[in-house]
Structure formats: structure tokens, C-alpha cells
A and B are shown apart, each in its own frame.
Chain A
Amino acid sequence: MEKESIVETRDLVKVYGDGAQVRALDGVNLSIARGELISVMGPSGSGKSTLLNMIGALDLPSSGQVWVNGQDLGQVRALDSFRARTVGFIFQLHNLIPTLTARENVEVPMMGQIAGRGARRRRAEELLELVGLADRMEHLPSQLSGGQRQRVAIARALANQPALVLADEPTGDLDSQSGGEVLELMQQLNQELGTTFVVVTHDPAVARQTARILNMHDGQIVHEHTVGTPFEEDLAAFRRSGLGKALVAGENPLPRLGPNEQTALQRLLASG
């Protein structure tokens, strides 16, 4: 391992429901290096948001383990303060508190972590300057545009200098221009601060802006692509994977993979 990893999962399984059980995560093994900008792709219901919730300690796995920043989440007692200190969240709907100003919204995660109103205020101002909202600090969410709100949400995610920021469809609610700006901001922050970003998206255009793309399907990571890798290498890696071997053998290990998709994938594997 060339770089220290910040997230590791081993055989992660999450089952929902008592009667008709849904395996939202079905044995996920994953390693994310510190400072990476990575995206998780997949259709809705593929388990990408569930994976994010597990990494962010919002939910506990049915089995398997998650390590974040060297800590086994199964062993962490105070998950609240773990969340406050180690991870930052960005949601699809900005989810800002409507009664609080931009600055106050950024201060929310610092309450209980950073003592002193003054210190919190200075830090929030610093962060809003960083995301380019120095002139919008005392505005309420209802007075900001969609892109601006999402910038506030990014600033809020960075409040306690987390090692890791988890973004669930951060551009899902934005037009393509503001979406692009938001993504650029994340890239810039990733470079300047070295913060690790995990971005869940179903938009290939967004995913292409990140360094590595994980493809999820039916609760499994079915494919991994590092941006810049030649297509042939990628395809060879796919042939070597379990899924690739099964497909070449004419089997379909994924119950939700339609016949057309299966045929298309098999043709792809047979090419080159």
C-alpha cells in the first residue's frame, strides 16, 4: 500500500427489513487512501448511499467491519463526536437550517466541539471566505441560490477539519453550471487541504471529475476505474474480476442485471 488508507471495509453487509429482506450491501471490501477524491456510481438502490452512511457512522452494518481514520467503528462508543470530528456530510438537498444565517449554519457542527462563540464565529467566517461566500455570511438560506446553499453546506462539512468529507449527490439538485462549480470547489479543497472526498453520484459527468470511480450494483462493488488508466488495462482488470469471469462463462451472478445489459457486457469482454 503506497498511501495510508483512511477508509477500509471488510465484508460489509447491511440487511434491511425483517420479513422480505433487502441486502443493501452484500459483502463490500473497499480501501480509500488519505487525500483521495473518489466517486461512487450506480443506479438508485445499488447501495451507494447505504455505503456512505456506514462510512459516516450514521448507521451500523449487519455484519463486517469499517475502519475510518484508523478507528474500528464497531468499537467507537461516542459516534456523535466521531461524526463531529472525523467526517463532514454534504447532502443532495443542502439541508441547511432555515432559521439560521449562512454563518450560523456553518457554526452548527462546532457547537459542543469548539468552545467560545468568538472562536466559532471566526472559523465560520474563514470557511465561508474559502468557499467564496464572504459577502453572503449573514444571509438566510432562503436568500441564497441553490449553488450558494451547497457552498454553505460544504463549508459546514469542513467546520471541524474532518479527515473525510462524504457527499451524497451534492449536485443532484443543481443545474449543470452550478453543479460544475460545486465540483470544482471540492476538487480545489481536496488539493489545497488534502481532505479526502467521497462523492456519491449517478451522473457520469460528475464521476469523471474524480480520480477514482467505484461502480456499485445490487450492493456490491462491481467495477473500479482509475481516471487516466488506458481502456485496455481497465478491461483486462474487469476480465480478471469475479464478475468478469462469471460473465465470460455465460453466467449472470447479479440478479438485477437485465438480459440486454448482460449481452452488452459479454460483448465488451469478448472484444479487444
Chain B
Amino acid sequence: MILKNLFRRKTRTLLTVLGVSIGVAAIVALGAMSESLQRGYGALGSGSGADLLVAQAESVDIAFSAIDEEIGAALAGMSGVREVDRMVYTFSSTAGVPYFIVFGYQPDGFAIEHFRIVAGEGLPERPVRRGGRPLILGQAMADDLDKEVGDTLRLYDITFRIVGIYETGEPFEDGAAVVSLEDAQALSGHPRQVNAFLLKLRTTDDVERVQQRIEQRFEDLTVTRSSNFAQEQEAMLYIAAFTWSISLIAVVIGGVVVMNTMLMSVFERTNEIGTLRALGWRRRQILAMVMGESILLNGLGGVTGVGIGIAVVELLEGVPAMNGLLATIIPPALIAQGIGVALVLGLLGGAYPAWRASRLAPAEAMRYEGSSGGSAAQRLKVGGTALRNLMRQPTRTLLTVTGIGLAMMAMVSIGAMTEGMIKELADVFGGSGIHLIGMQADASIDLSTIDVRTVRRIQDVPGVEAAEGFLTGYTAVGDLPFFVVFGYQPHGFAIQDFQVVEGAPLTANRQLLLGRVAAENLDKEVGQTLRIFDTSFRIVGIYETGIPFEEGGGVVSLRDAQALFGQPHKISFLGIRLEDPALAEAVRQEIERRFPEVSVSLVSEFAEDNAEMQLMRSSSWGIALLALLVGGAGMMNTMVMSVFERTREIGVLRSLGWSKGRVLGMILRESVGLSLLGGAAGIVAGIVAIFLLNRNPIMAGFVESRFSLSLFLQTAATALVLGAIGGMYPAWRASRLRPVEALRYE
């Protein structure tokens, strides 16, 4: 009976299943992604055969961890330690793969042994330079790049020769490459530094003792059991939170769609439910029937969603850029999670309609003749036909508007954050009279490093008035998970941007200018000290720049920053002042020609050009699209129902001489009206969400979200398109109704 009830309205069931399945597919696909990242990090720790892993304390991710190599000898000398190996973990890029993971290991260490060579040979123990530096490539990446043993591979501006192909069974490693420690250090721009030490102990009973001893002796190091490593990575927490929040959005919208469907179904069958009650059915039975339908509906959606999710993962696996980020195996727990969420949705979405159905008084229910919309429409003297038609089923309209509103809210708030970041990035470099910005070519913003000597040579390029390098790095300070440290030359031109409002400007090393927001969050004043890593800084001044990202951090001398982040003679970015700004483009090209390792942008275009920002933008669009798909399914569902209900009415209109086009227009107008209402609600909700987010001190120090007119226009346009597309099919169906049949429709 439950099954038959669902099949009465095939289109509606289909659309609901679709809405739920998109949400579930998102959970599965994103879950698989974060799962395999976690597994990859797990492999970094435990795959090597190490008992303990030593990394820099307070680094957000192992990729940002930097420890001096010499500490390795000290660790090896500690009691209980049998063997110490070193590891570099960095990103590079090559054609078609913007994030290419590169590991650096000692060719004679124990950790490299788990890279099982399947073709060619392992890394040579002595450096060979003939025909490029030696590199072993993961099987999956080799397949994607179509490379074999003997081929060469260019990472940044260094040529490597593939001496072997390996396999470990971990997608994270099989989608990467391994080079010697020194070569990896060269790629990461951190010579004589490693990301982590891998320790083998004499006996595993010693683990905790050794862990404590190391942390006591080296305050800026953190020691984890290699098996716990993945769980303790802060970055993993962010990824998991991100994944969950996207899933949550999809699921909430899906839930609204389910409730809508079930509510409609109960409305339609009011008569029938009355009859069942009159025939002696108990309230409980009615409740069970409606709940059963809802759960079955969602179970279908869940299964379909898992299928779609797996298909998406399979599809993305073929993309080289995604290699190492996706596991071939989707863990059963994830599938169970997807279906479980769908079933919970069924329970929640079905509860209210089922309760309503069970509460119907039999006699009244049997008299029910469908909603005529009398009362609601009566109050609404203003507004066109479209609005009045929508008000016939206020609950349904409300639910649909909520669904679309949630999608739009996601779009507005994520969009505003992205815009905010782009704007900030532009502002960070926008002041202080800089005309051009340089960074390491092909590198990600977080990892950009340029040699100081390059800066000096760029000063000699004709047209350049001055060039100055600065270094940025992230760390956690006190309770702030993200604290940006800016290293500037104390008397340079770029530092002028940080307007000191209290205290004095920077004059020497070991001094710190603290941003206004950071000062407030850390509760610090001029004259106090602040520890960053193991170095104490005296706060000489407080600055304001109007950019939260800057005000949530601090400025130290370039030399101090280089020491803090273990990058002597390195800078992250360089600012260039020109003699004649009109010649900016020509000078830019000249610098890039002379220094291929540097990528230069006009200051006004830097933020837009930036690969990270583009990635953020496209991922924000991706999320919006996801939300739209789910919302669109709900929208179409509502309109199809509305057309069904009004079949007779449409027949009357057609017999009174209304053309197909006019009927089409009427339904489309309603659908567009509905989604515009949703859009408006979403914009308001998005503004509120962002307002609340901005009040959170951690977020506020990180980014100030921006609303732009174009964002609102974009949202409104999306709502419009959503309405048009969601309404198209129902409208077409309505216009195709044959008048005689429509008039006979009961």
C-alpha cells in the first residue's frame, strides 16, 4: 500500500528522490574526499613503519611544519630512540596538475622502504645529476601523466628524471612523487629543513616516555604516535568541518523538499484518510503509513544518492589534478552514513505531515474538498494572480521558499566570503604605492618563496624604481588558530601601509606591531610581550589598516620573520614601485622574461589572477550549484503539484479562449515569483548569517565578508533562472493539457 501510494504521483516521487539523492551524493563524494585525505595523512604517519612522528608545534598542517635538520642528530641521541628518518612534504606543480604532492625522503632511510618499486629502480643513494635529478613516481600519477621510467618531469624550474615507478596502495602516495631530501628541500624553498622526523623506538612500551621527553626538551616540537597523526592534524578538522557544513546545507534543503512532498500527499488524501479512520484505522496506523512512505521515499533517495556519489568519485578520479585526493575505495561506513542521513531525513521530514494526518477528525476529513484558497486569498487584496495562486497552499509555498531561500543563503554567504577575501587580498597589496606584485611562479600563495638575491636583481630592471620583499607566514598564537605574521623591512616603503595608531613604528628586531583585532582578541597592549613559536616579541605599537586579515595578525622585521619560519634569505612576495606606472605592463613582461621563476601581476589584478582565489570562487559556485540543484528539484515538484491540482481550472481557461502560450506564461510567472521570493529570503538570511559570522572573533580576524551589488544581482539572476527552469516543465505540461480532458479531470 505504501509503495502504491508513492507511485500515484510518479513525477513528484521522482523529483523528491532526486532532491534527496543530490544531498546524499554530496555527502558521499565529499566524505570520500576527506576520508582519503585522512587516510593519506594516516599513511604518512604509519605507512613508514615509524612509531613516533615529530613535527613543528602550532603549525596548522604538516605542510607548513619546518624543523631544522640538525635537531635530527639530537633526537637520535635520546635514549629509547633506535632510528631517526627525515621527511619533506611539499607541493609543486607541473603541466595539468596545479597541486603536485612531492615527498622527500633519505634514499637510505627506513621510511622510503614502503614505496614498493614496480618498474625501474629506487632512488640512488648518491646524487646523480645526469639527465635530471632522480625521481620515483606513483603508479596512479604515472598513468595519468602517461609517463614511463626514463621520461623527464619538470617541477617548477627543475628537471627530474623518472628512475622508477612505485606503488603503496595509498591513493595519496600513489598520486605523488618521491625525490631525495635535498631535492625536495630545493623545491619547497626550505633548505636544511624538514617537515617531520620519523622515529623508530627500541621498544614500543617506551612510546609515552620518549614523547614526553622530546616535548620537554624541544618546546616548539610536537610528538604524535604515528597512528594518531591524521586525527591530530588541525587542517583535517577544517576539511571535515567544511565537508559537513556543505552536506548539512544539502541535507536541510533536502529535508524541506521531503516535508513538502509528504505534506502535499497528506493534503491530497484528506478524504481518503478520513475514510480509513471511519473504517476503524487507529491514529497510530495512519501515522505509521505516512512515516513508512516518507522513509521509503528517502531510502530510495539515499540509495540513488550513494550511486550518484560513487559515480562522481569515479569520474573525478580520472582527472590528474584530483589524484591523491580521492580514494578508489569508498568505505562502507560512508555509504551507511549517506543512507542513514537519508533515513533520518525521512523521519524528520515525515514526522510533521504524519502527525497532521493522524490528527484529522474523520468526519471533517471526509467532507474535505481540497483547498479552495478562499481565506488566504481573501486577505491578499494586493498582488497579481501569480501571488494569489501561490497563496492557495501557503504551507507548500512557505516550504518551497524556505528550500530555495536556504540555497540562496548558502550562495550569498559563501559568495560574500569569497568576495571579502579577494577584496582583502587586493587591499593588502593595494596600498603603499606598489605597482606590481611578484610571487613564485606556479606556486600557491601559502607556499610562495623567492630568493632575496632575485629581489636585488629585479631592482636593476629598467623602469623599476624600487623592489622590496616581504615574508608572510601563519601560525597559531594563544587562542587564535590563524595568526598571520608579516615580515617587512622596518624602514621600507611597503610597511607604510600599516598605520600605527598607538605606540611607535618598528625600528629593530624582536619588536612587534600588533593588529588592532589581534590585540583585542589576545588582550594585549603596547609594552607587553607576545610569544610566537619560541621567540618573545615586545609589542611596540598597534596598527590599523581597515583590512581584518591584516589587523588579525602582526608585523615583525623581515629578518625575524625569516628566522621564525626557517627561511633565511627568502621572501614570499615582492612589491615593486615603478618610475612610470603607465609602463606597468611592459615592465611586468620584462621581469617575467628575465626571471621565469617569478610571476608578476599588476597590483589591481593580483587578487583576481590568483589561482587560489579562482579556486575559491569556483568552489563557492560549486556549492551554490549543489544547493540550486536540490532547490530546483523542490521547486519543480511544487509547480508540478500546483498544475495537477488546477487541471480543471486550466481546462476552463483554455475553453474560455486562453492560448497555450498564455497558460505557459501564467505557470512560469508563478514559478519565477516563487523562486524570487526564495531568493529575497535567501539574501536576507545570508546577510544575517554573515553578520553573525562577522561577530565571531576568529572569523572576524580572518576575513570580513563583503556584499556587493553584483553578488545580489547574481543571486537574483540565479533565482530567476531557477524559477524559469524549474517552472518550464510544469508550464509546458499545463499548456499541453487538452481542454476537454482537463475539464473532465477530477
List residues of A whose CB falls within 8 A of some B CB: 53, 56, 58-59, 78, 80-85, 89, 91, 95, 97-100, 108-109, 111-113, 140-143, 156, 160
Q: Does B385 contact A (CB under 8 A)?
A: yes
B656 touches A58 (CB 8 A): no
Tell me, in angstroms, the Cα distance from A261 to B96 when the chains sit together: 90
Q: How far is the CB of B450 from chain A (nearest CB, A)?
A: 68
The secondary structure that dominates the B interface is: helix
Q: List 14 A-B contacts (CB under 8 A).
A: A53-B740, A58-B655, A58-B739, A82-B657, A83-B655, A84-B656, A84-B657, A91-B743, A95-B649, A98-B374, A99-B377, A99-B385, A108-B656, A112-B657
Q: Does B388 contact A (CB under 8 A)?
A: yes
Partner of A80, one of B373, B391, B658: B658
Contacts of A81 in B (CB 8 A): 657, 659
Q: Does B334 contact A (CB under 8 A)?
A: no
Partner of B657, one of A97, A100, A113, A141: A113
* Known A111-B662, A112-B662, A142-B374: A95·B648 in contact at CB below 8 Å: yes
**0/1 per residue, B362-381, Cβ < 8 Å to A?**
00000000001110011000
Q: Does B348 contact A (CB under 8 A)?
A: no
Tell me, in angstroms, the Cα distance from A70 to B652 when the chains sit together: 25
Q: Which residue of A lies closest to B738 (CB)?
A: A59
B372 touches A98 (CB 8 A): yes
Residue among B378, B392, B658 having the largest count of chain A Cβ atoms under 10 Å: B658
B654 touches A80 (CB 8 A): yes
Contacts of A111 in B (CB 8 A): 658, 662
Q: Can you name 9 extra interface pairs (CB under 8 A) apart from A83-B657, A108-B658? A: A56-B655, A58-B740, A80-B654, A95-B743, A97-B649, A99-B377, A99-B392, A108-B656, A143-B374
Q: Which residue of A lies closest to B392 (CB)?
A: A99
* Known A111-B662, A142-B372: A156·B656 in contact at CB below 8 Å: yes
Partner of B652, one of A59, A85, A91: A91
Tell me, in angstroms, the Cα distance from A56 to B648 when the chains sit together: 17
Tell me, in angstroms, the Cα distance from A110 to B738 when the chains sit together: 21
Q: How far is the CB of A143 from chain B (nearest CB, A)?
A: 8
The 9 closest A-B pairs by CB, nearest first: A84-B657, A142-B374, A80-B659, A83-B657, A109-B656, A99-B388, A99-B377, A95-B652, A98-B372
Q: Does B669 contact A (CB under 8 A)?
A: no
Q: Does B499 contact A (CB under 8 A)?
A: no
Tell me, in angstroms, the Cα distance from A59 to B391 when the chains sit together: 33
* Chain B contact patch, size range: 20 to 34
Tell me, in angstroms, the Cα distance from A203 to B660 when the chains sit together: 35
Q: How far is the CB of A252 from chain B (nearest CB, A)?
A: 31
Q: Does B653 contact A (CB under 8 A)?
A: yes
Tell me, in angstroms, the Cα distance from A269 to B259 when the chains sit together: 68
Q: How far is the CB of B389 from chain A (nearest CB, A)?
A: 6
Q: Which residue of A lies closest to B744 (CB)?
A: A49
Tell me, in angstroms, the Cα distance from A15 to B656 when the chains sit together: 24
A85 touches B392 (CB 8 A): no
Q: Which residue of B lies closest to A54 (CB)?
A: B740
A89 touches B658 (CB 8 A): no
Q: How far is the CB of B655 from chain A (nearest CB, A)?
A: 5
Tell me, in angstroms, the Cα distance from A142 to B377 when the chains sit together: 11
* Known A58-B739, A112-B662, A140-B374: A89·B655 in contact at CB below 8 Å: yes
Q: How far is the CB of A168 from chain B (nearest CB, A)?
A: 9
Residue among A99, A112, A160 having the largest count of chain B Cβ atoms under 10 Å: A99
Contacts of B652 in A (CB 8 A): 89, 91, 95, 97
Q: How far is the CB of B744 from chain A (nearest CB, A)?
A: 10
B658 touches A112 (CB 8 A): yes
B657 touches A98 (CB 8 A): no
Tell me, in angstroms, the Cα distance from A91 to B377 when the chains sit together: 24
A59 touches B656 (CB 8 A): no
A100 touches B385 (CB 8 A): yes
Contacts of B660 in A (CB 8 A): 80
Partner of A99, one of B373, B653, B654, B658: B373
Residue among B391, B652, B660 having the largest count of chain A Cβ atoms under 10 Å: B652
A80 touches B374 (CB 8 A): no
**0/1 per residue, B718-746, Cβ < 8 Å to A?**
00000000000000000000111001000
Contacts of B653 in A (CB 8 A): 97, 108
Q: How far is the CB of B375 from chain A (nearest CB, A)?
A: 8
Contacts of A58 in B (CB 8 A): 655, 739-740, 743
Q: How far is the CB of A102 from chain B (nearest CB, A)?
A: 13
Partner of A140, one of B377, B389, B648, B654: B377
Tell me, in angstroms, the Cα distance from A84 to B378 when the chains sit together: 28
Contacts of A142 in B (CB 8 A): 372, 374, 378
A59 touches B740 (CB 8 A): yes
B656 touches A83 (CB 8 A): yes
Partner of A89, one of B377, B649, B656: B656
